[in-house]
Structure 1
Protein backbone atom coordinates (compact mmCIF):
# COMPACT_ATOMS: atom_id res chain seq x y z
CA UNK A 1 0.00 0.00 0.00
CA UNK A 2 1.31 3.43 -0.97
CA UNK A 3 1.90 5.88 1.87
CA UNK A 4 0.87 9.47 1.27
CA UNK A 5 3.23 12.01 2.79
CA UNK A 6 2.13 15.34 4.23
CA UNK A 7 3.71 17.17 1.27
CA UNK A 8 1.78 15.10 -1.27
CA UNK A 9 -1.44 15.57 0.67
CA UNK A 10 -0.96 19.34 0.95
CA UNK A 11 -0.16 19.51 -2.78
CA UNK A 12 -3.40 17.70 -3.60
CA UNK A 13 -5.38 20.01 -1.33
CA UNK A 14 -3.76 23.08 -2.91
CA UNK A 15 -4.60 21.84 -6.43
CA UNK A 16 -8.21 21.27 -5.37
CA UNK A 17 -8.38 24.73 -3.82
CA UNK A 18 -6.97 26.32 -7.01
CA UNK A 19 -9.48 24.44 -9.15
CA UNK A 20 -12.49 25.32 -7.04
CA UNK A 21 -11.46 28.96 -6.63
CA UNK A 22 -11.51 29.30 -10.44
CA UNK A 23 -14.57 27.08 -10.97
CA UNK A 24 -17.28 29.78 -10.93
CA UNK A 25 -15.48 31.75 -13.65
CA UNK A 26 -14.87 28.62 -15.74
CA UNK A 27 -18.49 27.56 -15.26
CA UNK A 28 -19.72 30.93 -16.51
CA UNK A 29 -17.59 30.71 -19.65
CA UNK A 30 -18.77 27.17 -20.37
CA UNK A 31 -22.36 28.24 -19.67
CA UNK A 32 -22.07 31.19 -22.07
CA UNK A 33 -20.70 28.87 -24.76
CA UNK A 34 -23.62 26.52 -24.12
CA UNK A 35 -26.07 29.41 -24.42
CA UNK A 36 -24.45 30.34 -27.72
CA UNK A 37 -24.84 26.77 -28.99
CA UNK A 38 -28.38 26.27 -27.70
CA UNK A 39 -29.58 29.69 -28.84
CA UNK A 40 -29.47 32.99 -26.95
CA UNK A 41 -33.21 33.48 -27.53
CA UNK A 42 -33.82 30.85 -24.85
CA UNK A 43 -31.68 32.47 -22.14
CA UNK A 44 -31.39 35.76 -20.30
CA UNK A 45 -33.10 38.59 -22.14
CA UNK A 46 -33.28 36.46 -25.28
CA UNK A 47 -30.90 38.56 -27.37
CA UNK A 48 -27.43 38.12 -28.83
CA UNK A 49 -26.48 41.43 -27.21
CA UNK A 50 -27.61 40.10 -23.84
CA UNK A 51 -25.30 37.11 -24.30
CA UNK A 52 -22.38 39.32 -25.30
CA UNK A 53 -22.89 41.69 -22.36
CA UNK A 54 -23.48 39.00 -19.72
CA UNK A 55 -21.09 39.09 -16.79
CA UNK A 56 -22.49 36.23 -14.73
CA UNK A 57 -24.60 33.10 -15.06
CA UNK A 58 -27.46 35.10 -13.54
CA UNK A 59 -27.55 37.19 -16.70
CA UNK A 60 -28.15 34.03 -18.73
CA UNK A 61 -30.80 32.10 -16.79
CA UNK A 62 -32.88 29.78 -18.97
CA UNK A 63 -36.25 31.08 -20.09
CA UNK A 64 -38.19 27.97 -19.13
CA UNK A 65 -41.41 29.09 -20.78
CA UNK A 66 -39.68 29.68 -24.13
CA UNK A 67 -37.78 26.38 -23.80
CA UNK A 68 -40.95 24.39 -23.16
CA UNK A 69 -42.58 26.03 -26.18
CA UNK A 70 -39.73 25.39 -28.62
CA UNK A 71 -38.04 22.17 -27.52
CA UNK A 72 -40.54 19.99 -29.38
CA UNK A 73 -39.36 21.16 -32.80
CA UNK A 74 -35.64 20.70 -32.14
CA UNK A 75 -33.42 17.84 -33.28
CA UNK A 76 -32.82 15.09 -30.74
CA UNK A 77 -29.28 16.33 -30.04
CA UNK A 78 -30.48 19.90 -29.53
CA UNK A 79 -33.18 18.68 -27.16
CA UNK A 80 -30.79 16.61 -25.07
CA UNK A 81 -28.22 19.42 -24.86
CA UNK A 82 -30.80 22.02 -23.90
CA UNK A 83 -32.37 19.75 -21.27
CA UNK A 84 -28.92 19.03 -19.81
CA UNK A 85 -28.22 22.77 -19.64
CA UNK A 86 -31.51 23.40 -17.84
CA UNK A 87 -30.68 20.68 -15.32
CA UNK A 88 -27.74 22.74 -14.05
CA UNK A 89 -30.05 25.67 -13.42
CA UNK A 90 -32.96 23.78 -11.85
CA UNK A 91 -32.80 20.10 -10.98
CA UNK A 92 -36.57 19.57 -11.01
CA UNK A 93 -37.30 21.30 -14.29
CA UNK A 94 -34.13 19.95 -15.88
CA UNK A 95 -34.85 16.41 -14.74
CA UNK A 96 -38.39 16.54 -16.10
CA UNK A 97 -37.10 17.96 -19.37
CA UNK A 98 -34.41 15.29 -19.64
CA UNK A 99 -37.05 12.63 -19.10
CA UNK A 100 -39.33 14.28 -21.69
CA UNK A 101 -36.59 14.15 -24.35
CA UNK A 102 -35.71 10.52 -23.58
CA UNK A 103 -32.58 10.83 -21.45
CA UNK A 104 -32.45 7.97 -18.97
CA UNK A 105 -28.85 8.33 -17.79
CA UNK A 106 -25.53 10.02 -18.44
CA UNK A 107 -24.68 7.59 -21.25
CA UNK A 108 -27.49 9.17 -23.28
CA UNK A 109 -25.33 12.29 -23.52
CA UNK A 110 -23.03 10.20 -25.73
CA UNK A 111 -25.12 11.20 -28.72
CA UNK A 112 -23.99 14.82 -28.44
CA UNK A 113 -21.38 16.21 -30.80
CA UNK A 114 -17.90 16.95 -29.46
CA UNK A 115 -18.47 20.68 -28.86
CA UNK A 116 -21.60 20.07 -26.79
CA UNK A 117 -19.88 17.25 -24.87
CA UNK A 118 -17.07 19.66 -24.02
CA UNK A 119 -19.53 22.22 -22.72
CA UNK A 120 -21.37 19.67 -20.56
CA UNK A 121 -18.04 18.30 -19.32
CA UNK A 122 -16.81 21.77 -18.35
CA UNK A 123 -20.11 22.50 -16.61
CA UNK A 124 -19.83 19.28 -14.59
CA UNK A 125 -16.19 19.95 -13.66
CA UNK A 126 -16.85 23.52 -12.58
CA UNK A 127 -20.37 23.42 -11.14
CA UNK A 128 -20.51 24.97 -7.70
CA UNK A 129 -24.23 25.58 -7.40
CA UNK A 130 -26.58 28.02 -8.98
Structure 2
Protein backbone atom coordinates (compact mmCIF):
# COMPACT_ATOMS: atom_id res chain seq x y z
CA UNK A 1 0.00 0.00 0.00
CA UNK A 2 1.53 3.35 -1.00
CA UNK A 3 2.17 5.78 1.82
CA UNK A 4 1.19 9.42 1.45
CA UNK A 5 4.15 11.77 1.64
CA UNK A 6 4.42 13.67 4.88
CA UNK A 7 3.17 17.24 4.77
CA UNK A 8 6.10 19.53 3.84
CA UNK A 9 5.38 21.93 6.70
CA UNK A 10 5.25 19.10 9.22
CA UNK A 11 8.45 17.62 7.77
CA UNK A 12 10.21 20.97 8.15
CA UNK A 13 9.02 21.34 11.75
CA UNK A 14 10.26 17.87 12.61
CA UNK A 15 13.61 18.42 10.87
CA UNK A 16 14.11 21.78 12.55
CA UNK A 17 13.14 20.39 15.93
CA UNK A 18 15.54 17.44 15.69
CA UNK A 19 18.40 19.68 14.59
CA UNK A 20 17.77 22.29 17.23
CA UNK A 21 20.12 22.63 20.15
CA UNK A 22 17.95 25.51 21.28
CA UNK A 23 15.06 23.37 22.56
CA UNK A 24 15.48 24.37 26.25
CA UNK A 25 15.77 28.04 25.28
CA UNK A 26 12.73 27.82 23.00
CA UNK A 27 10.73 26.07 25.71
CA UNK A 28 11.66 28.74 28.26
CA UNK A 29 10.79 31.54 25.86
CA UNK A 30 7.34 30.04 25.22
CA UNK A 31 6.96 29.23 28.94
CA UNK A 32 7.65 32.83 29.91
CA UNK A 33 5.05 34.08 27.40
CA UNK A 34 2.54 31.55 28.73
CA UNK A 35 3.25 32.51 32.34
CA UNK A 36 2.71 36.16 31.52
CA UNK A 37 -0.57 35.37 29.79
CA UNK A 38 -1.79 33.10 32.62
CA UNK A 39 -0.69 35.55 35.32
CA UNK A 40 2.78 35.91 36.80
CA UNK A 41 1.24 35.83 40.27
CA UNK A 42 0.83 32.05 39.95
CA UNK A 43 4.47 31.30 39.09
CA UNK A 44 7.80 31.59 40.82
CA UNK A 45 7.70 34.12 43.64
CA UNK A 46 4.72 35.81 41.97
CA UNK A 47 6.44 39.17 41.61
CA UNK A 48 7.03 41.26 38.49
CA UNK A 49 10.75 41.43 39.31
CA UNK A 50 10.89 37.66 39.82
CA UNK A 51 9.30 37.21 36.41
CA UNK A 52 11.62 39.69 34.71
CA UNK A 53 14.74 38.26 36.38
CA UNK A 54 13.86 34.62 35.64
CA UNK A 55 16.70 32.82 33.88
CA UNK A 56 15.14 29.37 33.54
CA UNK A 57 11.89 27.45 33.86
CA UNK A 58 12.95 26.63 37.42
CA UNK A 59 12.55 30.28 38.33
CA UNK A 60 8.92 30.18 37.18
CA UNK A 61 7.54 26.97 38.68
CA UNK A 62 3.78 26.96 39.29
CA UNK A 63 2.74 27.93 42.82
CA UNK A 64 0.39 25.00 43.36
CA UNK A 65 -1.18 26.09 46.68
CA UNK A 66 -2.03 29.50 45.21
CA UNK A 67 -3.33 28.01 41.95
CA UNK A 68 -5.54 25.53 43.79
CA UNK A 69 -7.05 28.33 45.88
CA UNK A 70 -7.58 30.73 42.96
CA UNK A 71 -8.63 28.47 40.10
CA UNK A 72 -12.26 28.22 41.23
CA UNK A 73 -13.04 31.85 40.40
CA UNK A 74 -11.44 31.88 36.94
CA UNK A 75 -13.20 31.63 33.60
CA UNK A 76 -13.28 28.18 32.01
CA UNK A 77 -10.61 29.14 29.46
CA UNK A 78 -8.32 30.54 32.16
CA UNK A 79 -8.72 27.33 34.18
CA UNK A 80 -7.93 25.12 31.20
CA UNK A 81 -4.86 27.12 30.20
CA UNK A 82 -3.46 27.25 33.73
CA UNK A 83 -4.11 23.53 34.28
CA UNK A 84 -2.37 22.73 30.99
CA UNK A 85 0.65 24.76 32.07
CA UNK A 86 0.77 22.97 35.43
CA UNK A 87 0.80 19.64 33.57
CA UNK A 88 4.16 20.52 31.99
CA UNK A 89 5.63 21.01 35.45
CA UNK A 90 4.06 17.99 37.15
CA UNK A 91 2.04 15.42 35.22
CA UNK A 92 0.17 14.10 38.26
CA UNK A 93 -0.85 17.48 39.69
CA UNK A 94 -1.55 18.81 36.22
CA UNK A 95 -3.60 15.76 35.30
CA UNK A 96 -5.73 16.09 38.41
CA UNK A 97 -6.18 19.79 37.76
CA UNK A 98 -7.11 19.19 34.12
CA UNK A 99 -9.75 16.64 35.17
CA UNK A 100 -11.07 19.05 37.79
CA UNK A 101 -11.65 21.67 35.08
CA UNK A 102 -13.33 19.11 32.79
CA UNK A 103 -10.47 18.50 30.38
CA UNK A 104 -10.51 14.85 29.40
CA UNK A 105 -8.30 14.95 26.32
CA UNK A 106 -6.41 17.18 23.94
CA UNK A 107 -9.58 18.04 22.01
CA UNK A 108 -10.81 19.89 25.10
CA UNK A 109 -7.99 22.40 24.60
CA UNK A 110 -10.10 23.67 21.72
CA UNK A 111 -11.81 26.03 24.19
CA UNK A 112 -8.60 28.07 24.23
CA UNK A 113 -8.08 31.00 21.90
CA UNK A 114 -5.51 30.74 19.11
CA UNK A 115 -2.74 32.46 21.09
CA UNK A 116 -3.04 30.06 24.03
CA UNK A 117 -3.25 27.02 21.75
CA UNK A 118 -0.16 28.22 19.87
CA UNK A 119 1.77 28.60 23.13
CA UNK A 120 0.74 25.10 24.24
CA UNK A 121 1.86 23.78 20.83
CA UNK A 122 5.26 25.49 21.19
CA UNK A 123 5.64 24.10 24.68
CA UNK A 124 4.84 20.58 23.50
CA UNK A 125 7.21 20.83 20.55
CA UNK A 126 10.10 22.07 22.69
CA UNK A 127 9.46 20.18 25.93
CA UNK A 128 12.41 18.13 27.08
CA UNK A 129 11.31 17.39 30.62
CA UNK A 130 11.20 19.48 33.72
Same fold (TM over 0.5): yes
Question: Once the 2 structures are TM-superposed, how far is the Cα of residue 51 of structure 1 from its aligned partner?
Answer: 0.9
Question: Once the 2 structures are TM-superposed, how far is the Cα of residue 15 of structure 1 from its aligned partner?
Answer: 4.5
Partners of 2:16 and 2:53 in 1: CA distance: 31
Which structure 1 residue ranges, 5 or more long, are not aligned? 3-12
The 10-residue stretch of structure 1 (62-71 or 48-57) with the greater mean CA deviation from structure 2 = 48-57
Q: Please name the residue that 1:126 is paired with.
A: 126
Does the aligned pair in 1 maintain the 2:83–2:98 contact within 8 Å? yes
Question: Once the 2 structures are TM-superposed, how far is the Cα of residue 108 of structure 1 from its aligned partner?
Answer: 0.3
Listed as ranges, the matches of 1:1-130 within 5 Å are 15-19=16-20, 21-130=21-130
- Matched residue SS, 1:96: helix
- Matched residue SS, 1:45: coil
Number of equivalenced pairs: 119
Query: RMSD between aligned alpha carbons?
Result: 1.6
Higher Rg: 1
Question: Once the 2 structures are TM-superposed, how far is the Cα of residue 124 of structure 1 from its aligned partner?
Answer: 0.3
For residues 76-95 of structure 1, the C-alpha deviation after alignment (integer angstroms, 9 at most, x for no partner) is 00000000000000000000
Partners of 1:67 and 1:100 in 2: CA distance: 13
- Matched residue SS, 1:103: coil
Partners of 2:118 and 2:106 in 1: CA distance: 14
TM-score (norm 1): 0.87
For residues 47-102 of structure 1, the C-alpha deviation after alignment (integer angstroms, 9 at most, x for no partner) is 11111110100000000000000000000000000000000000000000000000
Does the aligned pair in 1 maintain the 2:26–2:126 contact within 8 Å? yes
TM-score (norm 2): 0.87
